[in-house]
Structure 1
Amino acid sequence: MANFKGHALPGSFFILFGVWWSVKYPLKYHSRRSKNGPGNRCFSYMEVTEGAVKIIFSVIGMLAEQFVPDGPHLHLYGGDPSAWVKLMNWQHTTMYLFFCISGIVDVFTYTSAKVPIGLDRLVLSVALFVEGFLFYFHVMHRPLVDQHIHSLLFIATFGGAASLLLEVFLRDNIVLELFRSSLALLQGTWFFQIGFVLYPPWGGPGWDEDDHSNMMFLTMCFCWHYALAILILAVNYALAYRRQQSAEDEISEEANSELIVLGAGF
């Protein structure tokens, strides 16, 4: 959708998953190191739930793109004279379709032994690549600021796709997982930024799309967005570490109490 809501929806999708990943992966990492955290079964349930949420968000996105009042309503070609119908909405629908496929693969990966481990990362990598590929041709021959603000998004999409491709072969690598989480957060906040620049929610015209100063500011603003993503990542990593340390301290205290009771019995 060529409006603010059309950018806020995928932005919310990526922010939700970026924040979730920034909590889940540090917890999983510290759990593996301490051997006292949640077991693999618990994290498998999380992966299945994550896949289900991904499917739900994607279906909502596809329905929203197709059935908004001015949407194509599943018509790809027609009219009088005949022409392509709302190709921008169809491109967004295609993007959501691949994330829906990724969610389905997530669910089957962690509920069926027949699906090879790593396929979930590969399909998500493909979904991000398709997103970047679609947006690359999405903004051709449009005003400079419009092209520039979308081209910055390619850094997050193709970077995330490359990181996930490496995760296929380097499973449970905390550095790659945190890097991917930061790029998901960056994508989410940047979608909102695109909406504010091109379709201000308070009404009125968007930014001057031929002003080079706007391009300079947006490039700098993109870096600020990534700094915010790193900050969120650092805070959640520290909280996960603190949570794991507290759990270990409680286990140590319980063990000491049992030894004292046993000693008193003798």
Structure 2
Amino acid sequence: MGNFKGHALPGSFFLLFGLWWSVKYPLKYLCRRKKNTSSISSKARFQRLEFTEGIVKVAFALIGMVAEQFVPDGPHLKLYNYEMKQWDHLMNWQHATMYLFYGISGLVDIVAHSSNALPVAMDRMMLSLAVFVEGFLFYYHIHGRAMLDLHVHQLLLVAIFGAAICVFLEVFFRGLIVLEMFRTSLCILQGSWFWQIGFVLYPPSGSPEWNQMDHNNIMFLTMCYCWHYAFALLIMAVNYTIVSWVVRSKMKQAPTMEIGLLKTTERDQESEDEI
């Protein structure tokens, strides 16, 4: 992860999941409110989505671990260098550990939503632990860094630990749209901020490096962090609006025959009551 691509990879993973959640959770919420959109709101359909999401999570985690271990300057599964008598590429090992816990979270998703072997709440519990482990590793990952490097990673920790607490609350308040959307916003924020860290610390295309000791850069990046979160909220608002329009369109396209059958049933019931 000590280069631009190493930050862009996890950033892309978090962005993809955040964008997906910004569609999935409004869809579930609106379908619960509008019961007659049965074609898109069946419980089995959403359960299959959770199962597929677990598979994608495992695949992303495997890609991340392989990338961290087998890049040209990676450890290639060697933890200790006996020639130099020191630990070998601990940064890569820490990042691989982060991906490992997200992979475990994906496996729990698969088992919990394909069988009765685990309580369904275990998916949120394991995701909360995976996010916490990510923050725990990053907290001890940034000691001794330059001032600007330290600051951008500390801002990342705010989003990580905020998401960990949010997902943990979902263990007890499952299906609460407020928590789900808050978690989604922090996931998008993590993804975009990983990209921002890559541009700041490892400017691509030969761009000039940022002054690591300039306090004005710290002030700007703090403000930029808030802009990233505003952008995440904007994305969620747009996706919520689109999903709401789609659900309403499905309702309008519902066959009028269902209404006719309902009225016929009501008339029959009234006739029986009169008799």
1:234 to 230, 237, 244: 237
- Range with bigger deviation, 142-151 or 204-213: 204-213
Pairwise CA distance, 1:81? 2.5
Aligned ranges 1:24-63 → 2 under 5 Å:
24-35=24-35, 36=37, 37-63=40-66
Aligned ranges 1:169-248 → 2 under 5 Å:
169-248=172-251
* Matching residue's letter, 1:153: L
Aligned residues with identical type, % of pairs: 58
Count matched residues: 260
**Structure 1 counterpart SS, 2:183:** helix
Q: 1:11 is matched with which residue?
A: 11
Counterparts of 1:258 and 1:190, CA distance in 2: 54
Q: Does the 8 A contact of 1:199 with 1:205 survive in 2? A: no
Pairwise CA distance, 1:79? 3.6
Normalised to the residue count of structure 2, the TM-score between the two structures is 0.91
* Matching residue's letter, 1:13: F
Counterparts of 2:117 and 2:33, CA distance in 1: 29
Q: Can you list the C-alpha shifts for 1:173-193, whole angstroms capped at 9, x where unaligned? A: 000000000000000000000
Q: Can you list the C-alpha shifts for 1:24-67, whole angstroms capped at 9, x where unaligned? A: 00000111111124201000110011000000010000000000
Q: 2:157 is matched with which residue?
A: 154
Q: 1:263 is matched with which residue?
A: none
Pairwise CA distance, 1:201? 1.4
Counterparts of 1:204 and 1:163, CA distance in 2: 37
Normalised to the residue count of structure 1, the TM-score between the two structures is 0.95
Pairwise CA distance, 1:78? 1.7
Task: Give unmatched runs, 5+ long, in structure 2.
Answer: 263-275
**Structure 1 counterpart SS, 2:140:** helix
- Range with bigger deviation, 78-87 or 55-64: 78-87
Counterparts of 1:31 and 1:204, CA distance in 2: 48
* Matching residue's letter, 2:21: W
Counterparts of 1:167 and 1:186, CA distance in 2: 19
Counterparts of 2:64 and 2:17, CA distance in 1: 15
**Structure 2 counterpart SS, 1:111:** coil
Q: Does the 8 A contact of 1:7 with 1:195 survive in 2? A: yes
Counterparts of 2:225 and 2:207, CA distance in 1: 23
* Matching residue's letter, 1:245: R
* Matching residue's letter, 1:133: F
Q: Can you list the C-alpha shifts for 1:150-204, whole angstroms capped at 9, x where unaligned? A: 0000111001000000000001000000000000000000000000000011125
1:97 to 95, 100, 107: 100
Structure of higher CA gyration radius: 2
From the superposition, tell whether residues 253 and 202 of structure 1 become closer, same or farther in structure 2 (CA, over 3 Å).
farther
Task: Give unmatched runs, 5+ long, in structure 1.
Answer: 260-266
Q: Can you list the C-alpha shifts for 1:68-106, whole angstroms capped at 9, x where unaligned? A: 000000000124231100000001000000000000000
Pairwise CA distance, 1:256? 5.8
